[in-house]
Amino acid sequence: MNPLKIRKATPQDVPIILQFINDLAVFEKLENEVIATEELLLANLFGDKNVANALIGEFEDKPVGMALYFYSFSTFLARPGIYLEDLFIQPEFRSRGFGEQMIRHLIKIAADENCGRVEWAVLNWNERAIKFYKSLGAEMMDEWTTCRVDENGWANLL
C-alpha cells in the first residue's frame, strides 16, 4: 500500500480545499453556513497577509484530505500554539490511518516551531472522532465552552 504523502498546500490547491470544506460542512450538517469562496481562500491562505495554512494529504497522487490550521498564542505558556481548524479525510479513505498521519505531521510542525500545544474542537455528537482523538492521547477539555460572536452578532458591539 502506498503511504499518505503530506505537503503544504499551494495556491493551485484552493479548488480542492474549498471542495473539502464543503464536504466537511455536509458531514457536519452545516452546509448552509459555508460562504467561503476560492477568492477568499486564496487571499487568506496565500495572500500578502495570510492568516492560516493548509496541508494536503495525497494518496496515489490524488488529494484525499486536508488539515487547515493557524497559529494561536498561550499567555500561560508565553509561546505560540497551533489551532487545527479543520481536519478532513474523504469518507472512502477513512480508517486507513490518514487522519492520524495528518495530525502527527501537524504536531511535528508544532514541535519544530517551539509551539506549546496543538488544539482543536470536535462536535460532541461525533463519537467516532472523539474516540479517535482520545486514542491519540488528546485530552477532552470538557470544562471549557466555546464562545463566538460573528459578524451578525458584533454589529451591536461596534
Rounded-to-integer distance, Cα 63 and Cα 74, Å: 33
Rounded-to-integer distance, Cα 102 and Cα 60, Å: 16
Active-site residue 69, yes or no? no
**Dihedrals φ, ψ of 123, to 5°?**
-65, 135
Cell of 58: 495525497
Rounded-to-integer distance, Cα 105 and Cα 5, Å: 10
Rounded-to-integer distance, Cα 48 and Cα 11, Å: 13
Q: Give the active site residue among 69, 71, 83, 133.
A: 133
Neighbouring residues of 120: CB distance < 8 A, sequence distance ≥ 6:
83, 84, 85, 87, 133
Query: How open is the CA angle 132-134-121, to the nearest 5 degrees?
Result: 80
As annotated, the active-site residues are: 133
